[in-house]
Amino acid sequence: MAERSSVFDMIGPVMIGPSSSHTAGVVRIARAAIRVLGEKPEYAEITFYNSFARTYEGHGSDRAIIAGLMDFKTDDKRIKNAFDHAETAGLEYHFKSVGNASTMHPNTIKLLLRAGEQEVEVVGESRGGGVITIVQVNGFSANFSANLHTLIILADDVPGSIAFISSVLSHDHCNIANMTVSRRGKSDLACQVIEMDSPLRELTTQYLASLDWVKEVLYVPIID
């Protein structure tokens, strides 16, 4: 990939751009996405929407997203040279831009990530001050901030599933702060996104994954 000029060339390696929407928030979106994938990606298709589509190169959002995909934190000095680190790591990536998506937040990014046989699509919004919202995961509404421990469960839409999972979490002494449930249709696949005040034990996630009506369990810890 060719080197691009950006604000990082002027301000040095510290992770401070023209706004945290274009830098810190972007890094956090990527770091949340790779936890949904379960590992660092081998391939990334990155689409910037609206104001991001017009400014992502000049404001350093392109470097920030690549840095986040390699799990660099927001204050990591390697962000300035993220493209070089990506090349060394063998990360293949492509940028796209869509400048007029009227239904989307001004600072929206869609990530299509692949690693081996795994593939995920994550849509995130950078809302300023490093605050983010992951609005979609694989086409399902998500609406989590990565400021809390987050459990994502893809399961059959069976009666009582929400109450059952809530009961399991309560036995692990986890308090549910927020929950988003979406489904493709009645009695079809449903996605539960549960934000919690405390982390889950691995034994609990393993138990949930073992249920015959549960298809997938993903755990996203707090992203700093």
Residue range 103-120: mean pLDDT, rounded? 94
Segment holding 181, helix H or strand E:
strand 176-183
Q: Is the pTM of this model over 0.95?
A: no
Q: Mean pLDDT across the stretch 95-121?
A: 92
Helix (H), strand (E) at residue 7: helix 7-11
Burial call 140-169: b when 16+ CB within 10 Å, e when fewer: bebbbbbebbbbbbbbebeeebbeebeebb
CB proximity list for 143: less than 8 A, separation 6 or greater: 133, 134, 135, 178, 180, 193
Residue-wise pLDDT tens digits, 165-224: 999 999 999 999 999 999 877 768 999 999 999 999 999 999 999 999 999 999 999 998
**Residue 4: is its pLDDT beyond 50?**
no
